[in-house]
Amino acid sequence: MRGKLLVGVVVLWAVAVVGGMAMLADYKYRPGARADEQPLWPADSKLARGRAVPTLVMFAHPKCTCTRASLTELAELMAEARGNVRAHVVFMKPSEQDGDWAHSDTWDQAREIRGVEVSIDVDAAEAHRFGAQTSGQVVLYGVDGRLLYAGGITSARGHVGTSIGHRRLLALLTHRATDAHTGNVYGCALAEREKDAPR
Amino acid sequence: MTGPDTDGAVVARRAHEIFAGRFDANVKRVDRMFIYLMAAQWLCAIALALWFSPYAWEGRIKTTHVHVLAAVVLGGLLSGMPIFLALVRPGAIGTRFVIAAAQMLWSGLLIHLMGGRIETHFHVFGSLAFLAFYRDWRVLVPATVVVAADHVVRQVFWPESVFGVLTPEAWRFLEHAFWVVFEDVFLVLSCLAGVKEMRGAAEQQARIEVSERREKELASTIQTSILPRTLAVEGLDVAAVMATATEVGGDYYEVLPVADGCWIGIGDVAGHGLPAGLVMLQTQSAVGALVGQDPTASPDHVLCGVNRVLYENIRKRLHHDEHVTMSLMRYHRDGRVVFAGAHEDIVVWRAATGTCETIATPGTWLGMTSDIRRATVNTACQLHPDDVMLLYTDGVTEAMDGKREQFGLARLCASLEEVARGTVEQIRDHLLARVRAWSPEQVDDITILVARYRDVDAVRVTTPRRSVPRFTAQSALDAI
């Protein structure tokens, strides 16, 4: 009787563990809100666009720990692109917060990436111009100002490693592809969602 | 006597017992190791989550990150059940199967918490090696199944997370599983080799044990067989028993009939086991030789001779430190008893009064020094018709009950008085039963010798009771 009870407890444990792992996986692999893609470089953007090379912009929440993986992938991409891209990492900051609020470990991580310009985006105004809603959102515009890629650069929330987005960006930057692409993005929301807004 | 085939079966059975015991001890030891590992992994996971990803953000709003909840709750589940089973069912195969599955799931959780860093994947291979400590290749099966199942599920639902593409080939998960199986092959071979080595060591140990046991049995058979076969003494009813605590005891008693009475000896070699038994044999031989050479000698003279033999053999030749406490007495038909040598007090139950009196035995130990003449004196006492003389070793008076209280001389005298008017056999059996009831777990040799003085005309012949099989000519031949 005790043996059967123990087996039952172990089975329940197994179900709970598998369920927990599934919930964790669901969280990790559930994409954030996609960008409201802008087919052309927003005219009112304060960011400088490359005239000779494509321009890549990553929008980031300075406190989002998932964005570390996005920056790790960006660093690798920049090395692979060999200077054939102009890159910005734009950190949002609420206007009521002081400047140090955005100076997080991800800020330092972004500044260490060679060839990347790091800036603060007060109240995510620049993100709004590009339609970005999720930290880690990457947009790539060609020299003609047309959108080439909009999406993430990781395969899951805070998960380093090869991803479709990374490979598409690399293909575009090395002229092995020219078609525009979109992809999923994984990370924290750049701004509070309205209660009725669809996720 | 057991033959080689029977010995082989005994060795095989004992080897199996030893192997099973050691295997069980090993898996329980590894179970305990996993208790600590599981607890450590849980604490590490919580620390990692709190350090690297304490909060998730939505604009200005922060909430506790799912990693923290996963580390606390899911990590608690992953470690809790293995720890519980290792505590309540250590050594059970189901316990290590659950531990194996949980350990591989821990790899998955840690990889999640560490953001998929490639270095964290080494946890998988380290865990497999850790599981091999069980020396039970079967635990690698659930571990490998968990890893393969994880990859199959990911390939179906989240292929990009593990393969970096949305439509991997159907066999792709096998590539990852292959490297796990690759390590499994070496670990399984290692487990099998470890088990083979354990079996070999167990068989070797079993052979040694069986050999030692047979040697002890042989020595015990010889020792108990040289005890006096008959206790026929003119004017004296004698009954005796010697119950050894181990196969070979250190107790000694002797009854050697001579003209006009007999020689009686009782002694105890310090310690027991084979060395004490060998000293006892030497003592018996020396007493027999010296008394046989001069039956009219005085006890102190014989005792000094025995001491010289023991000192020469034990101290000078064997370089051992055993010694003997012994009283040697000469009984005369007229009831006179002359004795020498230090041992337990002699108890004499007086028929006239129905009470016991105790007689001290002054002297010193045998085998400690080369000359004990100054410390060895003769003492005399007189037995009257129907008086009972009781000789015993310290295994009687020092037998302890559960509260560590000794049986003691007073209790022995009281027990003797209860049955002193019975036959010497009844007295012997009654005293032995009382001691064993007092101390069911015998830790020392027990020897009891009861002698009742009769008129010279009333001679009885009795046989001693033995607590071990009798030594016969046939058994001696078998032993050799």
Give me the pLDDT at residue A199, please.
Answer: 40
Average pLDDT score over chain B: 89
Kindly report, residue by residue over A125-183, the tens digit of the pLDDT: 999 999 999 999 999 999 999 999 999 999 999 998 888 999 999 999 987 777 878 88
Average pLDDT score over chain A: 92
Give me the pLDDT at residue B469, please.
Answer: 40
Give me the pLDDT at residue B471, please.
Answer: 38
Q: Compare all CA atoms of chain A with the CA of B158 and give the residue at the minimum distance.
A: A29
Give me the pLDDT at residue B315, please.
Answer: 86
The chain B residues in contact with chain A (CB within 8 A) are 52-62, 65-66, 70, 73-74, 77-78, 81, 85, 89, 94, 98, 101-102, 105, 108-109, 112, 115-118, 154, 157-158, 160-161, 164-166
CA angle B134, B136, B140 (to 5 degrees): 95
Q: How far is CA B409 from the centre of its chain?
A: 30
Give me the pLDDT at residue B271, please.
Answer: 65
CA angle B1, B7, B11 (to 5 degrees): 145
pLDDT of B5 strictly over 60: no
Give residue B261's pLDDT band: very low, low, confident or very high (50, 70, 90). Answer: very high
Q: Reduced to 3 states, what is the DSSP secondary structure of residue B62?
A: strand
Give residue B244's pLDDT band: very low, low, confident or very high (50, 70, 90). Answer: confident
Contact call for residues A174 and A98 (beta carbons, < 8 A): no
Mutate to test the interface with B, among A159, A164, A195 (most CBs of B within 10 A): A159
Q: Which two tokens stand for residue B454?
A: 């009769």
Give me the pLDDT at residue B273, please.
Answer: 67
Candidates B77, B154, B160; nearest CB to A17: B77
A189 chain-B contacts, CB cut-off 8 A: 57-59
Beta strands in B270-311 (DSSP E): none
Candidates B74, B94, B161; nearest CB to A159: B161
Min CA distance, A51 vs chain B (Å)? 32
A177 vs B339, more confident: B339
| pLDDT (mean) for A54-62 | 97
Q: Reduced to 3 states, what is the DSSP secondary structure of residue B96?
A: helix
Chain-chain contact of B60 with A190 (C-beta, under 8 angstroms): no
CA torsion B310-B315-B320-B322 (nearest 10°) is 40
pLDDT of B476 strictly over 60: no
Candidates A9, A28, A161; nearest CB to B164: A161
| pLDDT (mean) for B345-367 | 95
d(CA B240, CA B429): 9
pLDDT of B464 strictly over 70: no
Chain-chain contact of A155 with B161 (C-beta, under 8 angstroms): yes
pLDDT of B461 strictly over 50: no
Contact call for residues B221 and B245 (beta carbons, < 8 A): no
Kindly report, residue by residue over A16-26, the tens digit of the pLDDT: 999 999 999 99
Chain-chain contact of B81 with A13 (C-beta, under 8 angstroms): yes
Chain-chain contact of B77 with A13 (C-beta, under 8 angstroms): yes
Chain-chain contact of A192 with B161 (C-beta, under 8 angstroms): no
Min CA distance, A43 vs chain B (Å)? 25
Chain-chain contact of A25 with B98 (C-beta, under 8 angstroms): no
| pLDDT (mean) for B100-104 | 97
Give residue B472's pLDDT band: very low, low, confident or very high (50, 70, 90). Answer: very low
Beta strands in B208-260 (DSSP E): 236-243, 251-258
d(CA B39, CA B420): 68
CA torsion B66-B86-A13-B188 (nearest 10°) is 90
What is the percentage of chain B residues whose pLDDT exceeds 70? 91
Contact call for residues B450 and B430 (beta carbons, < 8 A): no
Candidates B59, B62, B105; nearest CB to A17: B105
Among B60-69, B72-81, B105-114, B155-164, which is the least confidently predicted range?
Answer: B155-164
Candidates B65, B73, B166; nearest CB to A65: B65
Give me the pLDDT at residue A177, please.
Answer: 74
Min CA distance, A7 vs chain B (Å)? 9
Chain-chain contact of B70 with A20 (C-beta, under 8 angstroms): yes
Min CA distance, B173 vs chain A (Å)? 16
Contacts of B421 (CB under 8 A, 6+ apart): none
Mutate to test the interface with B, among A64, A154, A168 (most CBs of B within 10 A): A64
d(CA B336, CA B15): 58
pLDDT of B473 strictly over 70: no
Q: Compare all CA atoms of chain B with the CA of A26 and give the residue at the minimum distance.
A: B158
Contact call for residues A101 and A92 (beta carbons, < 8 A): no
d(CA B122, CA B179): 12
Closest CA to A163 of B303, B116, B193: B116
Candidates B58, B116, B165; nearest CB to A160: B116
pLDDT of B184 strictly over 90: yes
Give residue A197's pLDDT band: very low, low, confident or very high (50, 70, 90). Answer: very low
Contacts of B341 (CB under 8 A, 6+ apart): B267, B299, B300, B303, B325, B326, B327, B328, B361, B363, B366, B376
B115 chain-A contacts, CB cut-off 8 A: 68-69, 158-160
Min CA distance, A157 vs chain B (Å)? 8
A124 chain-B contacts, CB cut-off 8 A: 59
Domain B228-479: top CATH class: alpha beta
Give me the pLDDT at residue B232, please.
Answer: 86
Name the pairing type of β-strands A55-60 and A137-141.
antiparallel
Give me the pLDDT at residue B425, please.
Answer: 96
Q: Reduced to 3 states, what is the DSSP secondary structure of residue A37?
A: coil
d(CA A130, CA A145): 12
| pLDDT (mean) for B364-391 | 94
Contact call for residues B100 and B131 (beta carbons, < 8 A): yes
Kindly report, residue by residue over A59-96, the tens digit of the pLDDT: 999 999 999 999 999 999 999 999 899 999 999 999 99
pLDDT of B463 strictly over 90: no
Kindly report, residue by residue over B198-238, the tens digit of the pLDDT: 999 999 999 999 988 887 777 777 767 778 888 889 889 99
Chain-chain contact of B59 with A160 (C-beta, under 8 angstroms): no
Residue spans per domain, chain B: 4-208, 228-479
Kindly report whether the global pTM for this prediction surpasses the value 0.80. Answer: no
Q: What value of ipTM does the predicted structure carry?
A: 0.89
Kindly report, residue by residue over B27-77, the tens digit of the pLDDT: 999 999 999 999 999 999 999 999 999 999 999 999 999 999 999 999 999
Give me the pLDDT at residue B248, please.
Answer: 64
Closest CA to B237 of B431, B399, B34, B449: B449
Contact call for residues B213 and B363 (beta carbons, < 8 A): no
CA torsion B1-B5-B9-B14 (nearest 10°) is 60
B117 chain-A contacts, CB cut-off 8 A: 160
Q: Compare all CA atoms of chain B with the CA of A165 and give the residue at the minimum distance.
A: B164
pLDDT of B245 strictly over 90: no
Contact call for residues B113 and B50 (beta carbons, < 8 A): no
